[in-house]
């Protein structure tokens, strides 16, 4: 599950063998772990090590396309400095993915960057937004039409606190358990959701099944307790890469984490059969996008 590599540099050069091992591990549902890869904040950026800057009505502080949202109590200067910090992390994460996974490089779509300064274990929210429950990632308002969700996380906690995850069962096993409980999409519903601007793009049958699995996993208290799972601890100053549409996970504890999301077309994978899209299509015996 956890495949460890040693580097302290975001511009590291990886051997062909390391690159092949990394892509194989990721596509087989593994987590690529770099225990010594830190993202160092500047002296000015230390001011953002406070939960007070997070808007309590937003899940995370987010940055994309030179826009920043989900924060509060920042001056114009602070706003710009936080944007610069997240832009720098986005750039470093992108360069690092290109070095570790060069086969993916020209196909990557850079999505949202997030900063999570709030302690997750004390957060109260609805079950659908509760990331302390095992789930695979799917986004209600942002369908991705089968693309992979590739994420780079970095624990920047200044107090040495670990980010604690639970990691659950393989995707195939999760899908076979929950798919029989999910109804087919209602004809015309995807077009209506798009027309009403509830979704930012067209919700395919794939997006429908993934979102329903995400919600049903989180809602099933019995499943949360009895599903096969293991605890993984990511120390402060460490980085990890994971495809969160495939790896069932729950974030149980930790504060001050940076995250960069990328989308990857399934056709860019070395082995498309390992993608959630192809797994769901095999089980359901139909095309989903």
Q: For residue 259, give the 3-state DSSP assignment.
A: strand
Residue 183 and residue 268 in contact, taking contact as beta carbons nearer than 8 Å: no
Q: Where are the alpha helices (DSSP H) in the chain?
A: 16-27, 76-100, 171-178, 189-195, 205-219, 221-226, 276-284
Q: State yes or no: pLDDT of 1 exceeds 90.
A: no
pLDDT per position as a tens digit, 108-137? 999 999 999 999 998 878 888 899 999 999
Across 73-87, average pLDDT: 97
Residue 200 and residue 263 in contact, taking contact as beta carbons nearer than 8 Å: no
DSSP 183: P
**Residue 256 banded pLDDT, cuts 50, 70, 90:** very high
User: What domains, with CATH codes, occur in the chain?
Assistant: 2-284 (2.60.120)
Phi-psi region of 163 (alpha: psi -120 to 50; beta: other; left: phi over 0): beta
Closest CA to 287 of 266, 271, 270: 266
β pairing state of 31-34 and 2-4: parallel
Which residue, chain included where needed, has tokens 């077309």? 265
**Cβ neighbours of residue 208 closer than 8 Å, sequence gap 6 or more:** 185, 190
Q: In what order do the strands lie in the sheet with 61-64?
A: 2-4, 31-34, 239-243, 148-155, 257-264, 109-116, 61-64, 67-69
pLDDT per position as a tens digit, 154-199? 999 999 999 999 999 999 999 999 999 999 999 999 999 999 999 9
Tokens encoding 243: 């495809």
pLDDT per position as a tens digit, 199-254? 999 999 999 999 999 999 999 999 999 999 999 999 999 999 999 999 999 999 99
Distance CA 211, CA 145 (A): 12
Distance CA 134, CA 225 (A): 10
């Amino acid at each position: 599950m956890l495949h460890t590599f040693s580097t302290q540099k975001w511009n590291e050069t990886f051997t062909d063998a390391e690159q092949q091992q990394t892509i194989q591990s990721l596509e087989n549902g593994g987590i690529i772990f770099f225990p010594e890869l830190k993202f160092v904040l500047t002296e000015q950026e230390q001011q953002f090590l406070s939960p007070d800057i997070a808007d309590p009505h937003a899940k995370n502080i987010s940055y994309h396309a030179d826009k920043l949202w989900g924060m509060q109590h920042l001056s114009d200067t602070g706003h710009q400095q936080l944007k610069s910090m997240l832009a720098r992390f986005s750039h470093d994460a992108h360069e690092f993915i290109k070095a570790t996974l060069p086969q993916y490089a020209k196909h990557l779509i850079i999505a949202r960057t997030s900063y999570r300064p709030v302690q997750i274990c004390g957060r109260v929210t609805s079950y659908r937004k509760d990331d302390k429950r095992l789930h695979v990632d799917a986004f209600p308002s942002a369908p991705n039409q089968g693309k992979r969700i590739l994420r780079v996380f970095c624990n920047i906690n200044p107090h040495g606190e670990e980010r604690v995850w639970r990691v659950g069962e393989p995707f195939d096993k999760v899908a076979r358990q929950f798919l029989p409980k999910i109804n087919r999409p209602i004809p015309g519903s995807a077009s209506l959701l798009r027309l009403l601007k509830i979704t930012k793009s067209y919700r395919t049958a794939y997006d429908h099944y993934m979102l329903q699995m995400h919600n049903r996993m989180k809602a099933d208290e019995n499943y949360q307790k009895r599903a096969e799972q293991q605890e993984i601890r990511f120390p402060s100053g460490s980085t990890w890469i994971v495809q969160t549409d495939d790896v069932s996970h729950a974030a149980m504890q930790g504060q001050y984490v940076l995250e960069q999301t990328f989308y990857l077309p399934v056709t860019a994978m070395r082995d498309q059969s390992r993608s959630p899209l192809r797994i769901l299509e095999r089980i359901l015996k139909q095309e989903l996008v």
